[in-house]
Each structure stands twice: as C-alpha cells, then as structure tokens.
C-alpha cells in the first residue's frame, strides 16, 4: 500500500493494497480493492465500492450525490464499480438516487475517457468505451461492448445495446439496438456495427443474418411487429437475431429510427 502524505483518507474507508496519490480524498464508506490506483486530486465519496485493478487518473470524482433535485439526502444510495476499469481525467460517476434504483452499477474493463459522465441509477456493462465528454443521463443502460463517441449524450431511461456504436456528437433520445450504428441529433440508425461484430468474433453467417434482420426491421417499411416476427421466423437459430428482436420488443422509450444505411 502506498498513500501520499497529502491524501485525506477517512478512517472508516476499507482499503486493500492500493495506491493513493497526492491530495486525493477517500471518503467515509468507501471500499477500494487490491490494485486500485487513485490519482492526484481525485475524490471518491462513499458509499462506493471499487473493484480490483481499477485506475483513477487525476481529478476523477466517483460516488458523489445524484444530480436530481428530488433526491432525498436521508436515503442512502451507492455506486458499485467493477474490476479493471479506467477513469481518465475529470470523468465522473454518481451514486443512485432515492427515487430510482438507489444504486449505480459499472461492470468490468470499461474505459472512460476524459470528461465522460455516468449519472445516477445507470447500469454500464462490461468492456464499454466512453470517448471524451460522452455523457449518459439518469437511469440509462449501456450493454456490454458498446462504444459511445465523443460529446455524445444519451437521454434518461434510454438503452444502448450490446456492441452498438454511438457516433461522436450524437444525441440519443431513444434506444439504440444492439449491433447497430447511431448518429445525429436526434440520433438515427445507419446500419450494423460490422467492425465491432467481427472484433467480437461474429461469423460471416451471423453477420449475414443480422443484415437481413436489419433490412426487415429498418429498411422495408414493414409494421414493427410484422418485421420482428419475420426476422425471428427467418433466423430462429441465430441468438444475435433473437437478441436484436427481443431488445426492440422490450423498448419502453421506442427505438431510434432507421436512416439511409443498410
């Protein structure tokens, strides 16, 4: 363990074998697992749990209060951060709110670039990438392997599906389905994230099936329920197609409209 003399660590904080840099602040109720690195001037408010090997660069703030005017300060809320995440300079993640799930959860191996933000009651999966100044509002769900481009924003209660990619500057007011590309204000869908699928090990057969499902769902102009039924019937043995159809069927805010891409 290495704690700089200028750092302030609350006596109730539970620390593993960690490194805490100059002028960092570790608050009451914080739990830092082995291998956590807290950079200079970073602040971790409690109750917050940070998993093994997570690195906070300079001026990161984790576990501060929800930015919610209705938040009841008497209700305890938490932030749970998994293993091997990276938070770059000035990135932030807030605890849950009293009016929501009361917990913000971040999975493993995510990379949060400078100035990115995770709001209250969000759920971030594993292996996601938030580029510089990407921000998600309260109650948002980001599924595994999703990529959010620089300066993009995701509206409250929206979802971004697995291996989806949101382009830089996009404003997502509705759900972005898995495996798709979203861009614009308001964001629309412009095809499949083929590169992301291939990097994740998707076979050519899976990609071909998803392309056909994309055509039925977003290009043919069919009623949504009809398109979902046809896609499911055409590829009953392709889990990725089933995942795409299920995601759309479960949408509460609605799904971003298809653009011109195929």
Closest CA to 245 of 259, 260, 255, 258: 255
d(CA 219, CA 195): 21
59: which residues sit within 8 A by CB, 6+ positions away? 39, 40, 41, 42, 89, 90
SS3 assignment for 250-262: CCCCCECCECCCC
Name the pairing type of β-strands 92-94 and 117-118. Answer: parallel
Q: ω into residue 144 within 30 of 0, thus cis?
A: no
Query: How many whole angstroms separate alpha carbon 63 and alpha carbon 185?
Result: 30
Question: Helices in the chain by DSSP H: which ranges?
Answer: 194-199, 204-214, 224-234, 239-249
Residues with active-site annotation: 120-121, 138
Burial, 219: exposed, middle or buried (Cβ in 10 Å; 0-12, 13-18, 19+)? middle
């Amino acid at each position: 363990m290495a704690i700089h003399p200028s750092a302030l660590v609350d006596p109730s904080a539970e620390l593993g074998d960690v490194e805490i840099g100059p002028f960092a602040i570790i608050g009451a109720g914080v739990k830092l697992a082995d291998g956590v690195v807290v950079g200079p001037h970073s602040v971790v408010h409690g109750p917050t749990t940070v998993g093994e090997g997570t690195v906070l660069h300079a001026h990161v703030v984790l576990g501060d209060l929800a930015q919610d005017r209705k938040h009841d300060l008497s209700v305890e809320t938490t932030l749970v951060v998994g293993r091997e995440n990276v938070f770059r300079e000035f990135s932030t993640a807030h605890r849950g709110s009293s009016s929501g799930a009361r917990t913000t959860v971040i999975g493993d191996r995510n990379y949060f670039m400078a100035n990115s933000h995770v709001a209250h009651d969000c759920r971030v999966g594993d292996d996601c990438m938030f580029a510089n100044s990407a921000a998600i509002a309260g109650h948002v769900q980001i599924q595994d392997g999703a990529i959010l481009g620089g300066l993009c924003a995701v509206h409250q209660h929206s979802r971004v599906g697995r291996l989806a990619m949101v382009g830089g500057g996009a404003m997502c007011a509705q759900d972005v389905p898995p495996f798709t590309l979203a861009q614009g204000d308001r964001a629309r869908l412009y095809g499949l994230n083929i590169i992301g699928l291939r990097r994740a090990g998707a076979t050519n057969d899976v990609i071909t099936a998803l392309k056909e499902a994309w055509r039925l769902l977003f290009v043919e102009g069919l009623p949504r329920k009809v398109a979902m039924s046809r896609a499911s019937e055409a590829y009953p043995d392709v889990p990725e197609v089933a995942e795409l159809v299920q995601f759309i069927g479960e949408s509460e805010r609605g799904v971003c409209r298809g653009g011109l891409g195929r």
